Structure 1
């Protein structure tokens, strides 16, 4: 197991192609995700490669960020990417590689969107499985969805790139949908004050700040995201949220990836979800979606027209000494931007 450096670039690219992974065709996304993330800028090494017989035979990819647990700020590490060559599977590689994750200096270890074998390995190393983090989707138009799926299937067969609209082209159109919603232009100080206040409303929430949101949604090389602010009639900043274009299977969805609002003002969340629907229609998306385990957000999403689709595998390990019951996840704040769901 070795920390990634440019000397392994060609061997890593061969690995992407052998595994038929999207990063084989998007090296700039790999660079953004693991070499330019805020934690990487601060000096953390977020990507490891498994070398076997002189070639890259597996990879481990991490995300590091602070989290709030009952008001205390801790460091977390999420395990997002885990791939090994087929010839190494079935040899309990999960048990051999898991210590590289569990030994990282973070009080909370989060294992997001992983396949069943890696979840089983995590459970053997002291993780608890998280239930309830799920996708909620509204299909906006049946014919549009069929057309989008047909186009997606054709692109897959012909190896053509998926439709990835440049979000900058839609900014003016989005700002015309609601007079109280516009592209985020509040100061970092205002944004960070709102984010902190909103995150501390929950027993668990990722501690996002303006720098992280810019990296996550505005610096993506494919221009897939936009940051928006909701300001009430009195001119007060009430919410900050992110929309991201997501290629979901063979159809296209507009994801409400992050939303930070005052829980005492549920009307703000309802208005944002209404805007989310209008934006998806304006951009020609075949569906819109939210990915969350939070009860309030899930209920509001369903009331706005979305339906529960499927739960995703997740697990976590708490080494902080602070009690955090995994069964209380409906009270946690979780959203698509907390995981590998936006890529």
Structure 2
């Protein structure tokens, strides 16, 4: 895909799309991009299939029981009951390892039954037969920390991984174009702002496309393995995540592009983009490690760099009012406009400056 040679013959919108189309086609022709996408799909589908197989193969603890004692056992999938004619048959199954325990009636037991085992008390059986007192909770049941941890990990890995996959290459591409002087040809054809907008738009389309592919593969995998309930539970949070991701990606990709425009050599890019990398990674670690802290999660829901991860987690657990994601999205949108404007100014003023690293103050002054 080539750009027009007469800058006066195309509008800014056309120039933006030409740059975006060039970047999209370039990435789609890359074997590394295609292979990495396929690997992500295989990992997602493989994890879903493994979950389905694990849930399908999970069986209850095998126990033997006479007809009378079987009626006293709790109706639960945690026990796999085999009825026997008498105590001798039940004890025989215990001795040959067919069952873990034999349950027989006992008038002197509080539960009405006695558990017979071989050489170790079966705690998983006795816990089901124990008499538990009634418990009254003064507040809503607490969400297990592990579940919060896993959700934060999922949304955080998606946001951080896909952002770094598509936004970081913008910075390296800008440096490569400066180092090879290609940028001078591009700027003679399109404006610097159109070049920046095209790069960001092209990579945003690729990132959202990868999310759609992963979501479609996951939905198909869940449906095939009989785990369709997860689609209903995750539907709304994933939809909000996609919207937050789009704005968050625009914000961060503009910062990566601005950082890349400030240097002229690939070896100088790491220290320049490192502050932006921290802005991507730190919120991820905060949400994962402190996902059980409601105050911190509320605050992070309105911080532009952590909202795409924190808000979907809160929405999944119904901890956010209907207006909170709207307000958080508004804060993110305003931040996006401001940072993109600043990033575009740095990009425009630094793009044609060769040699040493351009300082932020110098780039802002122009």
Q: With the length of structure 1 as denominator, give the TM-score of the two structures.
A: 0.25
Compare the two structures and name the one with the higher helix fraction: 2
* Length-normalised TM-score, structure 2: 0.24
Query: Which structure carries more strand by proportion?
Result: 1
Tell me which structure has the larger Cα radius of gyration. Answer: 2
